[in-house]
Structure 1
Amino acid sequence: MIKAIFYSKFDTIEGKDLQYHAKPSMTYILTTYWRTGPKVVHQVPDGAIVPSPTAPSQPPFLTFSDVSFFVIPRQELCGNLLQVCTNGYRILGYPICMKSVRYDRNEFIFNFCIVLAEEDDFSTYKSVVQKVADLMHGLEEQNGFLSRDFSKSGEGKIYSLCEMLMEDLNNYCECMIPIDELNTLNIKLFPIYPSPPAVKAWQVPLFTLRYQAFMDENWDLTMQRIVPHINGVNSVRIISILADTDFSLTCRALRHLLYYGCLFILDIFSFSAIYAPTAQFSPTIGSDEAMQLECARYVNLRFAPHPPTGPPS
């Protein structure tokens, strides 16, 4: 979750000038002219980065002077994803350095940064800061969108952009924000799942949902052939034999379903093994009739949509 967004710039008079930011894990844009010192111009929520007279009760999340060197770095570090952790927060940024005679000292550095709680997963936000930086770079080249903005604190297009970006990503995990007649900021946060484990021949896959609800005729042919044989009884090797599919392709298709949480893997049932309930049986299955019926549907073949069949002899 984003804590705040702010935009900062470095002026040849004001210094590193933090210009816009917005609240709930932290996101910010910063732009730089070479002036004399850091200065926060806009912040959302107000007072999240530096103390503000309009929000005296809002303590800053961090000390901006401690991280300003990383937020607006030297030119050699521009064009790279940067992150720094301080005071329990993680700052992600992608600084851009633009050179032109129209700027003071012939250069303009800006950076759009996202600040999250340090322990939060930040992998999905890496592409966000880069995409926003690239968009702002294009807008600045077209019409000086950043360098010509002299709005007061809490006003203007950049402030509104930061505010809407933070609210939409926190509430909906996506945003579509019009910038002008030709440009729109489109961002969607996609979850990143861990790589599924390798599938072994003796393991037994079991669906966590009814595959008929999402199966499509455009599916991979191997997937279409193996799915009807996944019933919680057949092992991976038997499924491959029954579906008449290559074993390696069968394993790959099952890993694909594992990746999206459509099934999980069980150990094969062995008649030589000894099975016994654990101490959790009584307070869970033993006292929950609905769960007992659900378990019956898994273990009683009469309830199975496709009775299991063994490999051809």
Structure 2
Amino acid sequence: MSTANQIKGIFFCEFHPTQGPIIAYQIPEDLIKKETFDALHIYIIPKKELFERDITVNALGHKILGYPVHIDSPKYARNALIFNLCFVFDQQTCTTDYEPVVKKLSAYLTQLELESGYLSNEESRKEIPKLMQDVLQALNTHGMCHVPMSKSTTIHLKVTSRITMPPAVADHDVPILVKDSGSISEWDLTTKQVRLHQ
């Protein structure tokens, strides 16, 4: 992967039932300072209208890309689990190639939580930093990762470049015949097809 678009770090934040928005884990440690998070947490753990949407915050020397998730259930304190796993980049980095990756990773975590309580169980939560480290290292090195989570679940992620639209074709870009070039029966099939549209 190009070093210009590399991920600087990953952090997992949540709305804690008693402490409010907090960073639970981050790789590397102290990438996002408490003061920085306190200033930006209203954008990273937003109101419910922005749940399950790509969120990009470009401030205080960082570009933070996340996909906040809200899971309703009476089993949680305050009847909901609210979390966001965010990628951190340099401020000038173009992050559009990473948006589907963050969204897919959030979907994996949501599914793991719904199936086995991965995020709410204190024992399984301890594996989140290792997951973040594996994802960070693999995406920065290879642009893809395959992280086994259990016997039946493996996280597959790949950074793909978005295809840009080709430029419009102007009339002067298209070749045309300017003189009779002989019998049409001797031409190849493609040229015969083009000849019909002149």
- The TM-score by the shorter chain falls in which range? 0.7 to 0.9
| Cross-structure match for 2:42 | 69
| Cross-structure match for 2:132 | 162
How much has 1:86 moved relative to structure 2? Answer: 0.7
**What is the 5 A alignment of 1:139-218?**
139-149=112-122, 156-200=126-170, 202-203=172-173
Give the superposed CA RMSD.
Answer: 2.3
- Asked if the contact 1:201/1:237 (under 8 Å) is kept, the reply is no
Q: Structure with the greater relative contact order (CA < 8 A, sep ≥ 6): 1 or 2?
A: 2
| Cross-structure match for 1:47 | 30
Identity %, equivalent residues: 30
Q: 2:131 is aligned with what amino acid?
A: L
Structure 2 unaligned segments of length 5 or more: list them: 1-5, 178-186
TM-score, with structure 1 as normaliser? 0.53
How much has 1:245 moved relative to structure 2? Answer: 5.4
Distance 1:12-1:122 versus aligned 2 partners, 3 A rule: same
**What is the 5 A alignment of 1:14-53?**
14-20=19-25, 43-50=26-33
1:244-284 per-position Cα deviation (integer Å, ceiling 9, x unaligned)? 2544xxxxxxxxxxxxxxxxxxxxxxxxxxxxxxxxxxxxx
Structure 1 unaligned segments of length 5 or more: list them: 21-42, 52-61, 204-234, 248-313
1:101-125 per-position Cα deviation (integer Å, ceiling 9, x unaligned)? 1100111101121122221111111
Match for residue 9 of structure 1 among 14, 19, 44: 14
**What is the 5 A alignment of 1:241-260?**
243-244=190-191, 246-247=193-194
Cα distance between partner residues in 2 of 1:45 and 1:140: 24
How much has 1:201 moved relative to structure 2? Answer: 5.1
Cα distance between partner residues in 2 of 1:168 and 1:236: 47
- Asked if the contact 1:3/1:117 (under 8 Å) is kept, the reply is yes
TM-score, with structure 2 as normaliser? 0.81
For the residue of structure 2 that corresponds to 1:19, the secondary structure is: strand
Match for residue 87 of structure 1 among 60, 70, 77: 60
Q: 1:174 is aligned with what amino acid?
A: M
For the residue of structure 2 that corresponds to 1:63, the secondary structure is: helix
Cα distance between partner residues in 2 of 1:68 and 1:131: 22
For the residue of structure 2 that corresponds to 1:79, the secondary structure is: coil
Cα distance between partner residues in 2 of 1:44 and 1:245: 61
Cα distance between partner residues in 2 of 1:145 and 1:111: 14
Cα distance between partner residues in 2 of 1:133 and 1:245: 52
Q: 1:17 is aligned with what amino acid?
A: I
Larger radius of gyration: 1
Cα distance between partner residues in 2 of 1:48 and 1:174: 23
Cα distance between partner residues in 2 of 1:144 and 1:196: 46
For the residue of structure 2 that corresponds to 1:180, the secondary structure is: coil
1:198-255 per-position Cα deviation (integer Å, ceiling 9, x unaligned)? 234544xxxxxxxxxxxxxxxxxxxxxxxxxxxxxxx7446xx8632544xxxxxxxx
1:78-98 per-position Cα deviation (integer Å, ceiling 9, x unaligned)? 121111111232111111111
Structure with bigger helix share is 2
| Cross-structure match for 1:102 | 75
Q: 2:30 is aligned with what amino acid?
A: G
- Asked if the contact 1:202/1:237 (under 8 Å) is kept, the reply is no
